[in-house]
Structure 1
Amino acid sequence: MDEQFQLLFDKMRIEMQNQTIEVTNTILEKMDEKLKPILEENQILKQKVDKLEKKVELLEREKKSNNIIIHGLPEGEQTTLDLIKLIKNCFLDELGIAIENYEINKIFRIGSKNKNKNEKPRPTLLSLVTGWKKIEIMKNKKKLKDLYITEDYSKETLEIRKSLQPKLIEERQKGNLAYIKYDKLIVKENSRPIDKRKREKSTSPQAELIQPRKQQTLNMSKSNRINAFDVMRGRSHSLSTTSVTTKQ
């Protein structure tokens, strides 16, 4: 009896396990069916968010495209007009570039005002109306003595550019043309042809001794050669003499 009860119990346990598996599978299938549209919608929303982030990045990039940041400009102006005059005079004296008031979109100091006068002056953001004026300034920025000018990048872009510096140095050490364009590293391999110099033939002392001997043999062979014209002349002369003797 005990064995029969044990067998019956085992069968019931197996059936219950099978039923639980079937129930769980059906529940999971139903959950998947219900979650499928939600997951698809979530994927679509992610794609839209990515597109919006790219658009925002492009707008921010376009907004900063005509901006430059001036570092080291002495801080002592009282109004914005004083700051404009200071920059105009600086660019005219050191760069030879004249900037009119209507070419300036906005200008201001970055950060809070320094309480201590001995502290480093705050950088100045200058936003220009046209891009060609910015290009002209950036081309001549090396002429500045006490100032230096940088692009107006976002914090994220600055971090990316900073992380690309070791790779930039590595590529330049290899001899490649490398530079950072916005937030990407551009590398162009050096395609200059390598000059392969032909190895000059070394002359040994034995070769120098053999060379005169060869020259002597060549000269002897040349001297032993019979000139064809001389042979023809001799034959014609002998024929003429024999003809004269026969006539006589």
Structure 2
Amino acid sequence: MQDMKEDIKNTINSNINEKFKCLETKNELLEQKLETQTIKINNLERTIRKKNLLIFGVSEDEKSYWDLEEKVIDIINNVINIKCDSNGIECVRRLGKKGEKVRPIVITLTTMGLKIKIQKNKKKLIPTPYYIKEDFPPEILSKRKELQMEVSKEREQGKLAIIKYDKIVILKNRNQQAEKQIMDKKKRVLSESPETSQSDCENNKDKQPIKNKTNSMDNFLLKKPTLQFPSKKFTSHPHDPRTTQ
């Protein structure tokens, strides 16, 4: 009887363990799928916001979409000094709910080239109440705030650290780059100095050409022998018929 109880208990435990294992594997698969879907959604959102810019400080007194678009085009043309018309803008809208504060404007541009031009010339907005920022998703904004402390620490150590999307990038110092270029030039000058080339020439002059013995022997063997006979003076004899006339 006791043995039967033990067997029943063991079978129940084994069944429970198997079910738990199945649940664990399913949970792992769901976590993997969720992670994959999250990465895809983040990439999709990044692609959607790729051509977006945020303009802050623009007074909120427009009465229609066309008024808002005209305001944005006017700032790009006359303040940032970049040619732009309605063809360069896909859409414009205010971000968030209307309240006491002036809401920023989200601009979606038609080309990345126009966005890069605006970003390069955004310093022209410094004397104005306007300023431009990238349009990041909320989770990226919170991550960038967390990274700001690390960036300030890196800059205190003399490093050129910046935040690129959601990562810290340390740029090379201009002084280090200049020193490296100078060292490379010095190395080239030393390797191509006239002293080394002159010594090479002198060494070449001191060296005498080595005669090739094998070639001289081959030439001797291949050369045709020439027979030389001693030259005799011909003397005529009185009884020689060749001398008779």
Q: What TM-score do the two structures reach when normalised by structure 2?
A: 0.64
Question: What is the CA–CA distance in structure 2 between the aligned matches of 1:140 and 1:24, rounded to whole Å?
Answer: 76
Change (3 A) 1:111 1:23: same
* 1:186 is the counterpart of 2:166: no
Provide, for residues 97-132 of structure 1, a one-character-per-residue CA deviation record: whole Å limited to 9, x for no partner: 121212211101122334xxxx54211111111111
Give the deviation of 1:57 after TM superposition: 0.7
Letter paired with 1:177: L
Provide, for residues 153-181 of structure 1, a one-character-per-residue CA deviation record: whole Å limited to 9, x for no partner: 11111111111111110001101121111
Q: What residue in structure 2 maps to residue 130 of structure 1?
A: 111
Letter paired with 1:126: I
Letter paired with 1:139: K
* Range that drifts further, 76-85 or 28-37: 28-37
Q: Pairwise mapping of residues 49-198 of structure 1 onto structure 2 (< 5 A)?
A: 49-114=34-99, 119-144=100-125, 145-188=128-171, 192=176
Question: What is the CA–CA distance in structure 1 between the aligned matches of 2:171 and 2:122, rounded to whole Å?
Answer: 25
Question: What is the CA–CA distance in structure 1 between the aligned matches of 2:83 and 2:172, rounded to whole Å?
Answer: 39
Equivalenced residues, count = 176
Provide, for residues 203-229 of structure 1, a one-character-per-residue CA deviation record: whole Å limited to 9, x for no partner: xxxxxxxxxxxxxxxxxxxxxxxxxxx
Question: What is the CA–CA distance in structure 2 between the aligned matches of 1:151 and 1:69, rounded to whole Å?
Answer: 6
Question: What is the CA–CA distance in structure 2 between the aligned matches of 1:147 and 1:154, rounded to whole Å?
Answer: 21
Gaps of 5+ in 2: 180-245
Q: What residue in structure 1 maps to residue 27 of structure 2?
A: 42
Give the deviation of 1:189 after TM superposition: 6.4
Question: What is the CA–CA distance in structure 2 between the aligned matches of 1:33 and 1:143, rounded to whole Å?
Answer: 67
Question: What is the CA–CA distance in structure 2 between the aligned matches of 1:134 and 1:21, rounded to whole Å?
Answer: 74
Contact 1:72/1:120 (8 A) holds in 2: no
Q: Pairwise mapping of residues 226-237 of structure 1 onto structure 2 (< 5 A)?
A: none
Letter paired with 1:142: K
Change (3 A) 1:40 1:146: same
Change (3 A) 1:165 1:20: farther
Question: What is the CA–CA distance in structure 2 between the aligned matches of 1:146 and 1:76, rounded to whole Å?
Answer: 16
Q: What TM-score do the two structures reach when normalised by structure 1?
A: 0.64
* Range that drifts further, 38-47 or 174-183: 38-47
Give the deviation of 1:183 after TM superposition: 1.1
DSSP-derived class of the 1:68 partner: strand
Q: What residue in structure 2 maps to residue 29 of structure 1?
A: 14
Give the deviation of 1:21 after TM superposition: 6.6
Give the deviation of 1:41 after TM superposition: 2.4
Kindly, what percent of the aligned residue pairs are identical? 35
DSSP-derived class of the 1:74 partner: coil
Change (3 A) 1:188 1:85: closer
Question: What is the CA–CA distance in structure 1 between the aligned matches of 2:6 and 2:142, rounded to whole Å?
Answer: 52
Q: Which has the higher helix share?
A: 1
> Which of structure 1's runs of 4+ aligned residues deviate more than 6 A?
18-22
